Structure 1
């Protein structure tokens, strides 16, 4: 509250001679996107920006001592994700270690702690003439009712469409805090084509909302192109080497981000990759002397970094969705860059949220 008042006073001093008219059109810099002049108290998006990010808003003028700001006419991509991130942190517990003390150590991976990655999900595909499932892909809980995954995971030649999502466990056979949630709907990105490696991102809507706890909780989404660190963490139940050998325990591995030019040279233009690697859409990881990588069965799972941009604690930012690669331990793996698809994700997961 004090931060908010101080910022408003500073804005007032800087703009004491300007006169703004509520309802006038304005343009938000630097995007030049359309806005409308509103009292700061009536523009939740800008108000949150001031309080949580300590950023001075763009002003139209004043009405008495109240600041009039340029408020976005339409919801800005990333705003809802950041708001929900702060909301979901309320489900964390102070005594948790948050998974943030992992030593650099799923090819080359090590097991995770029970509450290190509470957003991890496994997609289950039905086995014929059985009530059991094959856990063939990973995913990330991003809201009370949605799982983020790879679009190609929404249909398997082996098992068809996934029918359930497994949450709350690190071992696939564990029954402690185990939740199997029925899938209501699978939603591939509208531009995804099964014969292409582009737009390989999708969503799974659960039939009922999850019950949040230290074992099951959404992750945040990275809303900006830039990744503030040079390494990311991949997690999954995939093969532990290129010749097979799937892990029943959730594994984690720290991976370096491969330079775009090097990654692009590693992949020839093919029918599925006609334009090569596209930096805006892809993130490449996992090439180096340590030979750590993701592998078959990890697809759909997250690339993540620790969230440390604001007061939000014990949270991860999902920067990528594991997509495809050549083998498991040589050439870089390719992941779908989440920030490129933020608007589509927000419009699908939180369509009714407004400022």
Structure 2
């Protein structure tokens, strides 16, 4: 009887590993993958031709080999230099002087790191900006003031081209006290919003890029987002960031950047809720304008209003079948944990909420305004009280039981992580 059971289990296991069809999900060396024809999987081709190893199989279809192709590109784990790049950030090694990229085949592409020119100075004769005073050693405050030149832009006077005036380009009609249950955002209302996407590796018909999350531009190189969005279950790692666009289907209206480095917080663990925060480094410096400029970060020197604003391209309801094509916005309340949010989280088995690192907002009792699937990583913002047309990123969309159902959502508390953010973005 025991021999029969062992034989039966063995047959089942062979069926599980080698009975998958093209397009089925699979596991390739502990990585999520999808079954593809060998020739359609660059990693499998290189593994077979360069390392002369059998790629992970799904099945034979006649004489056609169907392999398990990793959703994340693992080509840098192939070839003569795989030992050097195996622990790298997707085949990219960086030193102070050089950046090297390896895709499994030779040669290795190495380029010298060249210092980029700083943004051009404003013309001599521009009227001074009207800025509040504060601690100029506070980097968050200092940077927030620097971004004002892209709000109150220095332009030539209509009456005299040799003289200059300040032109207010704020994209919000009434900047003061005022996504599910939301309304469309204006063209340059949220110039810091970033749309984050993956390479479409599963032929879903959605185009070469699948937009899966949101983020906030916080400097000329870095986007702030959630740790849990760095890798998508179906499409693998984030690859692209789109800035300056409000409509997904009109991506050419914005600027597309490649993501070259992922920096989750050192305490973040995949599939856990705590410390759900990460930084993304872009492939080149962002040139700021009225349509693309960073948001401010929390600082004691930047008083904020009581407003809490969400913006994103996610689902417009729990039962929605698709995500929004256009950027939506909504104003929500932030709740005190002890007086309102505690009953929703203290009854769970692992008590998910941490009062120091998380914020509780949205999902009010009397409305359905909330963030939803696809909004993850985007900001929960507030207004800077004394700095014109400036948003402060107070929280990051992290998780929630149900969107738009009167249940509060949970947001990463950005203030708690300011030392870490500044050490990465502005190390000097």
3-state SS of 1:208 partner: coil
Aligned length: 277
Alignment CA distance shift 1:191-1:307 (3 Å): same
2:380 to 295, 298, 303: 303
Does residue 87 (structure 1) correspond to residue 159 (structure 2)? The answer is no
Deviates more, 1:117-126 or 1:187-196: 187-196
Deviation at 1:98, TM superposition (A): 3.7
1:124 to 178, 197, 200: 197
Does residue 316 (structure 1) correspond to residue 391 (structure 2)? The answer is yes
Q: What is the aligned-residue RMSD (CA, Å)? A: 2.5
Deviation at 1:268, TM superposition (A): 4.5
Alignment CA distance shift 1:269-1:225 (3 Å): farther
1:190-339 to 2 correspondences below 5 Å = 190-224=266-300, 228-244=304-320, 245-261=322-338, 262-268=340-346, 270=348, 274-286=350-362, 287-309=364-386, 312-329=387-404, 330-339=406-415
Distance 2:150 2:326 in 1: 24
Deviates more, 1:101-110 or 1:239-248: 101-110
Distance 2:132 2:304 in 1: 19
For CA contacts below 8 A with separation 6 or more, give which structure has more relative contact order.
1
Deviation at 1:155, TM superposition (A): 1.1
**8 Å CA contact retained: 1:263, 1:277:** no
Deviation at 1:105, TM superposition (A): 8.4
Distance 1:105 1:298 in 2: 21
Alignment CA distance shift 1:116-1:54 (3 Å): closer
3-state SS of 1:247 partner: coil
Whose radius of gyration is greater, 1 or 2? 2
Q: Structure 2: state its 5+ residue gaps.
A: 1-130, 153-166
Does residue 153 (structure 1) correspond to residue 229 (structure 2)? The answer is yes
Shift >2 Å, 4+ stretches: 51-55, 93-100, 102-105, 223-231, 268-271
3-state SS of 1:341 partner: helix
Taking structure 2 as the reference length, the TM-score comes to 0.61
3-state SS of 1:322 partner: strand
Deviation at 1:270, TM superposition (A): 5.0
Deviation at 1:186, TM superposition (A): 0.8
Deviation at 1:90, TM superposition (A): 1.1
Q: Structure 1: state its 5+ residue gaps.
A: 1-50, 56-74
**8 Å CA contact retained: 2:238, 2:259:** yes
**8 Å CA contact retained: 2:226, 2:396:** yes
Deviation at 1:242, TM superposition (A): 0.0
